Every structure is written in C-alpha cells, then in structure tokens.
Structure 1
Amino acid sequence: MASPRSAFGALVRAWRDRLAPADAGFTVTDGRRAPGLRREELAQLAGLSVDYVLRLEQGRARNPSAQVVGALARALQLSRAERDQLYRSAGLLAPQDGTVNTHVPAGIQRLAARLGDVPIGVFSADWTLVWWNTMWSAVFGDAAAVPPAERNLARALFGHGLAHAAMLPVRSERGPDAFEASIVADLKDAVSRYPGDVQLDRLVRELRDGSDAFAHYWATQTTAAQHTTDRKTIRHPVIGDLRLDCDVLVVPGADLRMVTYTAATGSSDAGKLDLLRVTGARTAIALP
C-alpha cells in the first residue's frame, strides 16, 4: 500500500502530466516530448522551487503546508473534488465551507492564460492574490518572490512586511484616498459574509492594531464603497509612469475578482506595455 507521501507525489505527477501547457499559458514548441507540464513549469506556476516540486513528487519532502497544497491545486487546475483529495493525501483538512475561497476554476485560468497580452491577477474575497499571468509579473513584479501570507493587497497597503515595502506607487483618478478606502470596504463586506473565517479575522485584527489609517477607514467606510473600475497611474521603476484602465471582473459562483489592466490602442501607455511584454521586466513586487 502506498504511503501518504508517495500517494501525494503520484497525484501531483499524474495531474501534471494531464495538464496541457497551452491551457496553463505556456507556448508549445515542436521539440516538446511530453504532453503535460514540465516540472519547472509547475514550479513556476505554483511559486515553488523546482527542487521542492521534485522532492514532493518523489515523496522526499514531508508535510507540505496548506499554502503549498493550495498553490499546487491552482497550478494544476484541479476541480474542487480533486483539490480536496490532494489536501487529504497531504494529511490536511480540505478548505471548509464558510471560509474565503482561494480555488481558481480551471476555466478561469484557461481564459486568463489566453489573454496573455493583458496583465491579469486573480484575487480572493479578502484581496489575496491567488493567480497571476506573465504580464502581471512584468508590470508589478513576480509575486512568487513574496511569501504566500504577504500576497495580500490590504497587507501591501497597510502592513509593514515585504509586500508593503516593495509595493509600487499607485495613484487613483478617483482621489488620493479612494483606492485604500475601497479595499477596506471590500474587507468589511468579506467579514460580513465569512464571519467564521479565522485567517480573515486575524488579518483584520492585525491591520486594525497595526495601522492607524486602516483603523480609520474601518470605522468610517461602508461596503457601498467597494473597489470597482478605475484608472490608475503606476510608477514603474524601469519605464516610468503607466496610466492604465483597471477593471475588476467578478467570477460568479467562486467569489473571486479578476483584475485586468489595459491601455487604449496606439497610446504611449500601450507602447510601454508592449515594451514590457517583449522585455519581461520583472524588477518590482506589487499587488495593486
């Protein structure tokens, strides 16, 4: 009978072999021998090292964390049932109903992967970044360089960790406080819908205790001021200011937000995005 560790590795290998590279946003070349994802591609998608993925597949890495299992489930585009099976094979409880959902449906990932010219980030209800494409990394920096717990927009805005220190300056056309206020309003809405989520409660308590600005917005904002479509100016360290339209698309049934950034065809900002697309400049880490 297979040990739990070998069963976990076998599942990861089998689902890696099953996933078509094009559905994960990778270009397929003629010299490719295997139909599924390469190990280094899975590592890139999950924000893990290639060596760690290898050790997981071989059963040499013990006790992967819930964050690691969740990242692998998203990268492998698993169904909810498959995701839960992967958690159980790691000796972990699967995410429970009534908690903030971080599972990105395979169809959403395939759709986002096919829009490769557009910076796209997918956020959960508490504004944790759970999926991003190559253009998002080119504009805002590779979020895989940030610890999973720090990949949260509210922490980037109001916290004191790595995400906050490295966040690019972002200015909203709706006013100097509109962006921050809307994120807090979204968190208040999430708390009302997920009152039993321990991690969400911990996030809010941490920010209320550690940030006067967050505490002020929490006391004054209503959920009617949630974050929606906006135009933002992003100060990129290589190409300067980027003035982009930010659209927030809600994923029905999954309680996720797909955030996209675009520029009008022929504009100077579109040209800057084209430059980033070619150079792949990944010099910053941000979660706007």
Structure 2
Amino acid sequence: MREEIFQQVLSYEGPFCDVLRRNAEVARTKDLPLCQDTGFVEFFIFIPFNAIFERPIQESCDEAVKKVYSSKPYRYSIVTDPLYERKNTRTNTPSICHIFHWDEEKVQIRLLIKGGGSENLTTLFMLSPTAGEEELMGKIIEHVARHGSKGCPPLRVGVGVGGSADKAMLLSRLALTYSLSDVNPDPRYESLERRISEKLNQLRIGFQGLGVGPTIFSVHVLQAPTHIANLPVAVSFDCYLSRIGVVEVEPVRIESR
C-alpha cells in the first residue's frame, strides 16, 4: 500500500477501523496481499519513437506478472474465455498492455492492478454535445450513488472525456494511475475534478459503504478532442487499495532513423 493511501486508512475513525488498519499493517510488514482479490494487471507504456526492444512488450509484461504472482501468495484471477470455458490460466496472464509513443527519450511504465468489484462499476455515457458540466457531473454522481458501495470505497475515480467511446474509456483507466495529489493542468478541468470530488463525498457512502469517512479519495479527468456530434464520457473506478505504480527507464539502446 502506498504511503498516501496508508495514511488515509490510519486516519479513518469508524466501523471496522481497527480491522482495516491491522490489515494494512500486516500486509506491509509481512509482504502479504491486502485483499484476496489480487486483481488483473494493466500496463500503460510510453516509449520513444526510436526505441528498440529485444522482445515483444506484451511478452515481457506477461513474464513479469507470471513471475510475481507465482512467487507470492496471490490469487490467479484470469480466465481463458470470457463467456464459455472460463478456465483459469493459473498465471494471472495475459496482462493488458496499452502502448503509446511520445517525444521523451525514456520509457515510462504506468501500472494499474484492479480487482473485479471496482471493475464492475465501469460505465460509459454518450452525452449530447450540448451537455455541459452540470449534466456530466450529474451522470457520474447518480451512478456512484447507486453503485459506489459495491466497489470497496473510498473509491478513486478516473474520468475520460472526448475522443471516441473506446478512447474515452482508455483515458478513464489511465487517469487511475495518477497520485492523489495530481491535478489536470487545465484549470477548467482541475475545477471539474474538484467539484465532482466534493459532490461525491457529500453522498456519505463512506469506507466500505458504511457511511463514515470519505466516499472517494480522488477524481482525475483526462480529455481528448472529439467529433462535433459526440461527447463520450467514460468513468472507471479503483478500490481504496489503489494498487498503482510508475517506473521510468532510460533505454539501453536508441537508434536514430
């Protein structure tokens, strides 16, 4: 558990607070999972245009996930077929890899590990392009009010606005990899993040849906250009454990083309 989340758990005073603290402390000191649902692993990998890799990125990510999950008492949660066979792969792979090119001369790997409960809260709204802030916020608030207690709150909320439906969804997931203190550099969207956070915490869902403490830890919004006839808004959620990470690597070999 990251320090910023650990401190939030320690400061919580409400039902089962001692159990939550003890769980966090045992996990930290004994290198044990915080939850029986050790999730599925999603990578967001930003690479230079001229980076050369010795093997497929997906293969490397899957090997890392397999190694970690098989060396620890982590549950395997991935099944081979979503609808019919649903046979466990017994490696927690394949992982999910999103690969982006950027202008930096380093590789950045953003990591998100999500359990099934928070994943089931994921939603997409295809709003009218005439919709404004209030309608957008209203959709999110209504959704969290109805379903937020099912995702192990306090939640972290990622919002993707614009692009196509799938682009908005990708942005909403990428937004979950940011730290609690990160804000959108555009002051309009920073204000939107803050307003959504305030409204969601007024719902008083609280820790584990018990009505005490914050309902959400943070809201992060990412935006993209979109079609004149569209306003897609995707919302992804992460549970209070917030199992994320960021690693930056200077490439070993760069070739100019």
> Which bracket does the TM-score occupy, shorter chain normalised?
under 0.3
What TM-score comes out, normalization by structure 1 length? 0.25
- Bigger relative contact order, structure 1 or 2 (CA pairs below 8 A, ≥6 apart): 2
Tell me which protein shows more strand as a share of its residues: 2
Tell me which protein shows more helix as a share of its residues: 1
What TM-score comes out, normalization by structure 2 length? 0.27
